[in-house]
């Protein structure tokens, strides 16, 4: 019997991505109730992930998992950072704003960072992990996969943007992939479906 793990997001794309990471873990993932709104007031990805996991767990009475991630651009002092999703109304607007702010800056080094947190049904944080993927920002979007800033985030080792990668390749090297890889070995101990 699979146990329920509520994903603290309203984004079906993020749910699918998490299901892929946790496939075979014995957990059944489900989206949080639509009416549950959690304000991301944390100043770090980890703080926001903990906030979302904890409040979702308390509201639903189930184990909950949350992640918070974003793009940190070196030349912009780590912006957009925790405000990555609020940098515009649509992905296209967010990308346009970032490219405008970077302008002709020569240093285009950046990283995607992700923090994942799992909370017990009482809201206590049981597990946390973080992952980072370094890359650089292109001058124009490339590729049609992924979401968010993926079309302008270029990974030199693969010579591809996140948006040009297969979902499997992106999962294996992305910030979220690395955060989940760090989390999975601990998952079995804390979340054995009997506990």
Number of domains in the chain: 1
Distance CA 55, CA 57 (A): 5
- pLDDT, tens digit (0-9, with 9 covering 90-100), for 43-80: 999 999 999 999 999 999 999 999 999 999 999 999 99
Judge whether 122 counts as a catalytic residue. no
pLDDT single digits (tens) 18-42: 888 888 788 889 999 989 989 889 9
Q: Where are the alpha helices (DSSP H) in 24-161?
A: 45-60, 91-102
| pTM for the structure as a whole | 0.89
Indicate whether 55 belongs to any domain: yes
User: Could you tell me if residue 195 is inside a domain?
Assistant: no
What is the extent of the structural domain holding 186?
Answer: 3-190
Residue 87, in any domain of the structure: yes
Strands ordered across the beta sheet of 109-119: 27-31, 3-7, 63-73, 109-119, 125-137, 153-155, 160-161
Q: How far apart are CA 195 and CA 186, in angstroms?
A: 14
Residue 41, marked binder: no
67, 68, 91, 188: which one is catalytic? 68
Q: Is 193 annotated for ligand binding? A: no
| Residue 122 within any structural domain of the chain | yes
Q: What is the CATH number of the domain that holds 122?
A: 3.90.950.10
List residues bridging with 114 in a β-sheet: 69, 131
14 annotated as a binding-site residue? yes
State the Cα–Cα distance between residues 187 and 51, nearest whole angstrom. 19
* Burial of 166 per CB tally in 10 Å (0-12, 13-18, 19+): exposed
Contact 118, 63 (CB under 8 A): yes
């Amino acid at each position: 019997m699979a146990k329920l793990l509520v994903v603290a997001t309203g984004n079906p794309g993020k749910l699918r991505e998490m299901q892929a990471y946790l496939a075979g873990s014995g957990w059944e993932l489900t989206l949080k109730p639509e009416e549950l709104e959690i304000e991301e007031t944390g100043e770090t990805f980890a703080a926001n992930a903990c906030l979302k996991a904890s409040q979702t767990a308390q509201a639903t009475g189930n184990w909950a998992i949350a992640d918070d991630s974003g793009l940190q651009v070196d030349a912009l002092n780590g912006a957009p950072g925790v405000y990555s999703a609020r940098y515009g109304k649509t992905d296209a607007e967010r990308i346009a704003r970032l490219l405008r702010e970077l302008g002709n800056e020569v240093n285009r080094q950046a990283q995607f960072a992700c923090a994942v947190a799992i909370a017990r049904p009482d809201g206590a944080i049981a597990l946390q992990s973080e992952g980072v993927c370094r890359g650089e920002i292109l001058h124009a979007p490339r590729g049609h996969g992924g979401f968010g800033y993926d079309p302008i985030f270029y990974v030199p080792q693969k010579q591809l943007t996140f948006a040009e990668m297969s979902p499997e390749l992106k999962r294996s090297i992305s910030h979220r992939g690395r955060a989940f890889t760090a989390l999975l070995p601990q998952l079995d101990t804390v979340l054995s479906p009997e506990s």
